[in-house]
Structure 1
């Protein structure tokens, strides 16, 4: 049985199981720890087994929905996202361990499409591109 989505969901900016390293103007590196773990996904494999880079428009789907099978039936599914008058598509490539049901983590490149990385949290909507499992979740993204 699929969970029913009727309330706002939290999408973490990049809360994958590795740290996001951000270069500052001086070229030094700092790590964005925040409340949750984050990642840049540089050359590492997500739960779908694919290697992605920061600029890819990819997301991690909450683990309860993503499931534990390998590969998940949600791997490589396309979603449509809307925030602040902007719409784009992204591909599910990973599982988000700390996301709320219906929540997503966004890659840095995808988050940057919608807002500055320093924004921390954004709220919008997302649904599967093919219309199946018409979740239509509201989304928020948290750093």
Structure 2
């Protein structure tokens, strides 16, 4: 009888500790879902300057312009993006700092610093896949 009581006490104590474990915040769940959305499109390069996010960047900065339709009111400003050249599998990270009026929804305009890490600038246009990193992520 003592063994049964001991077993039950241990079992219920373990169950209570398990149920009391903290759950991830809704924001953490949303960030992980956001990262999983992979977009595809064309990658081109441009000479950055004063972008719509309000920062002046140069060609040596790891910055990206997203399609005007995706830019909206700038909610993705300063958010990092993982960009993969689908032809060679190389991946690079760039920070959203501008909008691209001529880009289709899945296209990105990359600074020369970003583009040159995944393709030669002479290539001009590449096929890419990309996703936003969580808002708190930084390389």
Residue equivalent to 1:80:
82
Residue equivalent to 1:134:
none
Residue equivalent to 2:57:
52
Q: TM-score, normalised by structure 1?
A: 0.61
CA distance in 2, matches of 1:7, 1:50: 25
Residue equivalent to 1:116:
120
Contact 1:12 1:99 in 2 (8 A): no
User: What residue ranges of structure 1 are gaps of 5+ in the alignment?
Assistant: 15-39, 132-143
CA distance in 2, matches of 1:78, 1:7: 14
Cα drift, residue 122 of structure 1: 1.2
Query: How big is the alpha-carbon RMSD for the aligned residues of Structure 1 and Structure 2?
Result: 2.0
Q: Could you say which structure has the larger radius of gyration?
A: 2
3-state SS of 1:54 partner: coil
Contact 1:13 1:111 in 2 (8 A): yes
Cα drift, residue 85 of structure 1: 2.7
User: What residue ranges of structure 2 are gaps of 5+ in the alignment?
Assistant: 1-36
CA distance in 2, matches of 1:81, 1:55: 17
3-state SS of 1:109 partner: helix
CA distance in 1, matches of 2:89, 2:45: 18
1:6-45 equivalences under 5 Å are: 8-14=40-46, 40-41=47-48, 44-45=49-50
Match of 1:95 among 60, 85, 99: 99
Runs (4+) of structure 1 exceeding 4 A deviation are 5-8
Cα drift, residue 50 of structure 1: 0.6
3-state SS of 2:81 partner: strand
Higher strand share: 1
Cα drift, residue 8 of structure 1: 4.2
Residue equivalent to 2:110:
106
